[in-house]
Chains A and B, each alone.
Chain A
C-alpha cells in the first residue's frame, strides 16, 4: 500500500535557510544542506526547496545548493522559485533535483506548465499554488483565490479551476499552500485541500499551517492529501520528523517507518 508522505519545505534565500510567517518577515536559519541531511537521516520522505532569493544574479547559488543536496541525499526533492523557462527547469534537474515546482510564473503564463511537462516529463512537473480565502464571487466561486509574488498580488483566478487547468496542461502533482494558514501553526486549510484533492486526478501536497503531528493527521485523512508539508515545526526543533511519523503510524496512517 502506498504510504502518505511527510515533506519538509526549506525556503532558501541567497543560499541560506530562512522561514517566514504569512510569507513575510523571514529570519535566517543556517545551512539548508545540513538541515536537509539531518531530516533525511531522520526518515523524511521528500524535500522541497523554494528559492526566495530576491535578485536574479544570485540564482546560481541555488544551483550549488541543489548540487550539494543531490550528493548527500537520496530521496526525491523538488525545487521551486524563479523558474520562468523550460531551460531553468532542465538546469535544476541536471543539477540533481527530482522535480521542479512552478508557481507565479505559471499563473502569469500557463503555457509554461506544458512546456516544462514536455521537456522534463509530467511526473517531474509540479504546480505549486498560493491560495487565500475570499468571499465567493463570480471569478472565484469556490471562495479560494490564487495569489502570486509571495502572496502580495491577487489574481482573480479561482483556485480549484486553476488546479484543474494546471493538470490539463501537464502538472503531475499539485502543492496547495494556504496563505492564511502559512506559518501560523494552527493547522492546514482542510476544506481547501480536500476541494482540490477531489477535483484533480494527480496527488496533492498540503502546505501551510502545520504546528503539531495531529495537524498532519487531519490533512492526510479528512483533507484527503497524499502528502503533508512541514516547515517551522521541524526547523525550530519543536518536533523531529521521527516524532511526526511515529504519531501518524500510531494513528493508523500508513507512513514509511523502516529506513
Chain B
C-alpha cells in the first residue's frame, strides 16, 4: 500500500518518533532519503534536530534540497518540524547559511541580557494563534507544546506567522506557513494530545489555506 506520508530522512535526528506519532493517529508513514520518493510523495513531513549548517550540507549532498523545493511547488501538503521549519527560510544566523528559501525570512539566535533565561529553550510553552489556519482550528488558545531550540524564525511577511510564543522577553513565530506549507518550531510528535491532534489534522489536509 502507498504510504500516506513520507518522512524526509537527512540524518537529522530521531525520525522514528515522528513515524510512531503518525502511526498513533492512523497515518502510514515511511522514512525516505530518496529525492524521487520525496518529490512524488502525497504528503511530506520534514522533521529535524541538530544544526542548520549540517542539515543544509546533508540535504544538498543527498539532492534533497531541490526535491523539497519541487515538492513545495507541487502544492501538496508539507509539514516542517523544528529544524525542518528553520531551513524553510532564506537564511539562518546559525553558521551563516543560506537555506531553502521556501518562506521569505531568516532565523536568529535567542539573545538575553538577563541570565535567568537559558538557551536553548527546553520545555513546554504556550502557542497563541496569530492568524486563522485550517490546521490550527482544533488547537485551543494557549495550548502548550514541547520546544527544544536556540534559534527562531522571523518571516518577512506578517501573514506567514500563524502562531506565536513568548520566551523570556521575546515573542517569536512558533508556527509559520504559506500556501501548502505548515511548519512548527515545537516538536508536535512529543507534545501530547494536542500535538497528535495537529498531526492528525495534517493527515487530512489538502494543502489549501481556506
Contact = CB atoms under 8 A, between A and B. Distances in A.
B121 A2 contact: yes
Contacts, number: 92
A75 B14 contact: no
Interface residues of A, number: 31
Interface of A is mostly: loop
Contacts of B189: 74
A3 B190 contact: no
B125 A74 contact: no
A71 interface: yes
B118 A71 contact: no
B85 to A, nearest CB: 15
A156 interface: no
Contacts of B168: 2
Contacts of B142: 258
A74 B191 contact: yes
A74 B24 contact: yes
Nearest to A95: B16
A37 B125 CA distance: 22
Contacts of B24: 71, 74
Interface in A11-39: none
Contact of B192 (A2, A75, A94): A75
Given A3-B144, A259-B192, A98 B122 contact: no
A3 B137 CA distance: 24
A172 B16 contact: no
B51 to A, nearest CB: 8
Nearest to A90: B14
A173 interface: yes
Given A74-B192, A258-B143, A226 B122 contact: yes
A96 B49 contact: no
Interface of A: 1-5, 40, 45, 70-71, 74-76, 93-98, 121, 123-124, 172-173, 201-203, 226-227, 256, 258-259
